[in-house]
Amino acid sequence: MEEHQINWSLINRVRTKNPIVLTLANLVTIDKVADSISAVGASPIMSIEPAEANEIANLANAITINLGTVNQQQIDQMQTILQMVPPLKPLVLDPVAVSAVPSRLKLAQSLLSKFHFDVIRGNASEIAALVDADNTSHGIDAGKVDRPIQVAELCARRFKSIVILTGETDLITDGQIIYENPFSAEMLTMNVGSGDMLSSIVAAYLGVTSNTWDACIVATVLVSAAGVLANRYSVGLGSWQVQFFDQLSIMDTKALLEFLEESEEDYLD
Amino acid sequence: MEEHQINWSLINRVRTKNPIVLTLANLVTIDKVADSISAVGASPIMSIEPAEANEIANLANAITINLGTVNQQQIDQMQTILQMVPPLKPLVLDPVAVSAVPSRLKLAQSLLSKFHFDVIRGNASEIAALVDADNTSHGIDAGKVDRPIQVAELCARRFKSIVILTGETDLITDGQIIYENPFSAEMLTMNVGSGDMLSSIVAAYLGVTSNTWDACIVATVLVSAAGVLANRYSVGLGSWQVQFFDQLSIMDTKALLEFLEESEEDYLD
Amino acid sequence: MEEHQINWSLINRVRTKNPIVLTLANLVTIDKVADSISAVGASPIMSIEPAEANEIANLANAITINLGTVNQQQIDQMQTILQMVPPLKPLVLDPVAVSAVPSRLKLAQSLLSKFHFDVIRGNASEIAALVDADNTSHGIDAGKVDRPIQVAELCARRFKSIVILTGETDLITDGQIIYENPFSAEMLTMNVGSGDMLSSIVAAYLGVTSNTWDACIVATVLVSAAGVLANRYSVGLGSWQVQFFDQLSIMDTKALLEFLEESEEDYLD
């Protein structure tokens, strides 16, 4: 990783360019996802009407498809959007609960066989399910898999995507190189929607760069840094959420670089 | 009540066993309900697609059916789930606004005539409506009824359920015994979704015990205790919500027992 | 404006009379909107089922139609409601994103041609779109228009509505008189749903007065005052939201008048 300089200035660029991010959203977390897109400086759009599919896809600079509360209406909407957009616009897939709900897995695999997604963001169980790796899943939450690095790499190679496998240690891989995120906050797991927010924030960064690798790293590190900083003065889930959104909304490139420098002693030495 | 020792250790047991709670959710409060399930240590799953009904019901350790934004799609989904699950899985009904919306009342009564619910959780007007007791309702909020204890007991006996009637004083009854919750926080009424959260948290406890009575008391006292503690340093709705979720996420059996002991002087002496 | 005394006591009247506000809601912001209605002292009801349309419209003292996630089911629901209610109940239209999504613009213009709305609340781009004024829109957010006052007046005259055009300076007009809100808080823009909340809070005030002009001013000033007060101790989006809901829930007529007096030196001198 030493030879590659990550372009942290993307954090400021999103705030300046204000890209439009379309999320086919999980209704459980739709409010948090919209706020998180807005907090990093992008503009959220959402829609649940298939007849609006063309118009909203045209508006968007990047698109995230989240399967969290997928339903027939949303499937109709995503078919229209996906047939229309590639290869013009960056696409992110969030395969929520495909490890637990067989029909969602079938849908996700069908989407992946027909369309190219620049990024797939899921927990270990979800990523394992996409490539039929053995895993035990527990509800919608992150299960554990035996060899997460290999699972992530396999998934990335199979679908020619960058995979973000989130968990105790977030892994980002294009199938060849692995980036291990040094930061993690347990509260990101208790807070429902942390993964959904990341998947849409990745799209915000894809909206201002063609460097998918950098967009994935910057978004993942930003979200986990906000989570770690929110830990400092929080009592529990409520106060953590407040400070998480505070950090997400005020963090600029300079502040993130300072956080990385301060943390180096704790994490990297 | 003296002879029955309530099993407060359920609070820790949910955090250890992490049961999966399916909520057919109210879209107004779906985010808060998911966070509240997660905060007490359980795993939330949600779905709005009838075709997923079997798969998600299979995953769940307990199920809450909330009529808050019920619609045809959700009715289809709940029919499939209800025909499949009893008597295998604990079921909670939250009859939101049946006192105000006649077609919801008809639906709730039809569900109750065909299926057995372990627990019914509603405000005074809603519980009264289910048993055709006189009441005046105001929107979706708690109306007052003349004899809430009798209404709750009648409802419990008619549907062979434990009834949690929430309001100024929460009542829990199996039709014979009444438990009156000594704690109440006015902000639980202003906060939209307090009842919906309780209904799904009850399911979390039902997921780890076959003692429905204890599950109802523990969940109700926990939620009201969190509400009372959140009052202490709050200015208004916003800061109350933050502290409510803080308390919900950090409260363990020991902390609740300490709260009960401290409060005895204020409430019970 | 000097000759007209605004009836600030509406703030207390809503808390006393507790009107029922029906919102055909934007699913992105439905939770915040329900909490905001409750915070100002009114009762929120929501529904997504067309078959409930008559029953819920009958319950409501005022109705807001928000196009934020409009879909066929909601269009069916609103047709039933709109054919039934006028001229009996106050109606507010929130034309979310009509400036960006052509099919929503067509829908909004069709609604406005068939039904009378007492109030239209939108950002500059949205209001401009309704009257086919030139504008450049960016996603769902406020674009800028060249002559916002003229655009708002034109819209008000064309649809015989009071128009609330929100932005850096909120404008309220009946087509003849203009009220310029002296308060604004940047965070109201970053927070997704500020406009949606205002549109439903306006309905809360319309539920207790036939003076539409006063209802619009009181609601708009109240929301912006809460936004300004929330700025004082906030770090970013998270803590701003907490204090915004705190202020919304505790502000009474006396507190608002004190805020206006204190602010006079800053804003009006």
| Domains identified in chain A, total number | 1
* Cα–Cα dist A41/A35, whole Å: 10
- Identify the band that residue A139 occupies on the pLDDT scale cut at 50, 70 and 90: very low
Partner C, chain B 108-147, Cβ-Cβ below 8 Å? 138-141
pLDDT at B269: 43
Check: CB of residue A91 under 8 Å from CB of residue A63. Answer: yes
CB C178, CB C200: distance < 8 Å: no
pLDDT at site B139: 47
How many cross-chain Cβ pairs, A to B, lie less than 8 Å apart? 95
The domain that holds C70 is classified in CATH as 3.40.1190.20
Is B160 within the bounds of a domain? yes
Query: Which pLDDT belongs to residue A190?
Result: 97
- 3-class secondary structure, A156: helix
- The answer to whether B115 and B138 have CB atoms below 8 angstroms apart is no
Does the beta-carbon distance from B102 to C55 stay under 8 Å? yes
How far A135 CA lies from chain C's nearest CA (Å)?
33
Nearest chain B residue to A106 by CA: give it.
B52
| A191-212 mean pLDDT | 98
Containing structural domain, residue C182: 10-268
CA atoms within 13 A on the CB side of A63: 26
String of b and e for A166-200 (b: at least 16 CB within 10 Å)?
A: bbeebbbbbbeebbebbbbbebbbbbbbbbbbbbb
In a domain, C64, yes or no: yes
Q: What is the pLDDT of residue C260?
A: 95
Distance CA B154, CA B169 (A): 18
At C135, give phi and psi (nearest 5°): -165, 155
Of B39, B46, B250, the CB nearest to A69: B46
Name residues of chain B where pLDDT drops below 70: 1-3, 85-87, 134-143, 265-269
Q: From the list A55, A56, A243, which residue is nearest C238 (CB)?
A: A243
As a whole number, the mean pLDDT across chain A is: 93
Q: Which two tokens stand for residue B211?
A: 């003692």
Residue C46 is labelled as binding a ligand: yes
- HEC letters along chain C: CCCCCCCCCHHHHHHHHCCEEEEECCCCCHHHHHHHHHHCCCEEECCCCHHHHHHHHHHCCEEEEECCCCCHHHHHHHHHHHHHCCCCCCEEEECCCCCCCHHHHHHHHHHHHHCCCCEEEEEHHHHHHHCCCCCEEECCEEEECCCHHHHHHHHHHHHCCEEEEECCCCEEECCCCEEECCCCCCHHHHCCCHHHHHHHHHHHHHCCCCCHHHHHHHHHHHHHHHHHHHHCCCCCHHHHHHHHHHHHHHCCHHHHHHHHHHHHHHHHC
B5 within some domain:
no
Residue B255, Cβ density class (10 Å: 0-12 exposed, 13-18 middle, ≥19 buried): middle
C contact test, residue of B69, B137, B234 with most C CBs within 10 A:
B69
Question: Is any Cβ of chain C less than 8 angstroms from the Cβ of B204?
Answer: no
Cα–Cα distances in Å, from B132 out to B121, B122, B145, B148, C59?
16, 14, 12, 13, 19
Domain annotation covers residue B4: no
Q: Would you state the pLDDT for residue C2?
A: 47
**Does residue A3 lie in a domain region?**
no
Angle between helices A10-17 and A194-206 (to 10 degrees): 80
Contact C44 B72 (CB under 8 A): no
Tell me the C-alpha distance between B35 and A96, whole Å. 16
Q: What is the mean pLDDT of residues A16-41?
A: 98
Check residue A3 and give its pLDDT.
52
**DSSP E strand boundaries for chain B:** 20-24, 43-45, 62-66, 91-94, 119-123, 136-138, 141-144, 162-166, 171-173, 178-180
Interface B-C: count of C-beta contacts within 8 A: 97
The residues facing C172 across adjacent strands are C164, C179
Expressed in angstroms, the distance from the first to the final Cα of chain B is 16
Q: Is residue A2 part of a domain?
A: no
Q: Please determine, for residue A55, whether its predicted confidence score (pLDDT) is greater than 90.
A: yes
Query: How many angstroms away from the CA of A91 is the closest CA of chain C?
Result: 18
Nearest to B82, CA basis, from B118, B42, B106, B31: B118
According to DSSP, the β-strands at A91-94 and A141-144 are: unpaired
Q: Flag whether B2 is in a domain.
A: no
What is the predicted pLDDT for the residue at A144?
Answer: 72
| ipTM for the complex shown | 0.94
Cis peptide leading into residue B148 (ω within 30°): no
Residue A135 has pLDDT above 50, yes or no: yes
Which parts of chain C register pLDDT below 70? 1-3, 85-87, 134-143, 265-269
pLDDT tens per residue across span C61-86: 999 999 999 999 999 999 999 998 66
Residue B3 lies in a domain: no
Asked if the model's pLDDT at residue A137 lies above 80, the reply is no
Nearest residue on chain B to C59, alpha-carbon basis = B139
Residue B133: predicted pLDDT: 77
Looking at residue A148, its pLDDT comes to 95
Q: What is the mean pLDDT of residues A116-129?
A: 97
Q: Tell me the chain C residues in contact with residue B139 when contact means C-beta distances shorter than 8 Å.
A: 18, 20, 43-45, 59
Element (H, E) at A173: strand A171-173
Q: Out of A59, A73, A244, whose CB is closest to C238?
A: A244
pLDDT of residue B19: 98
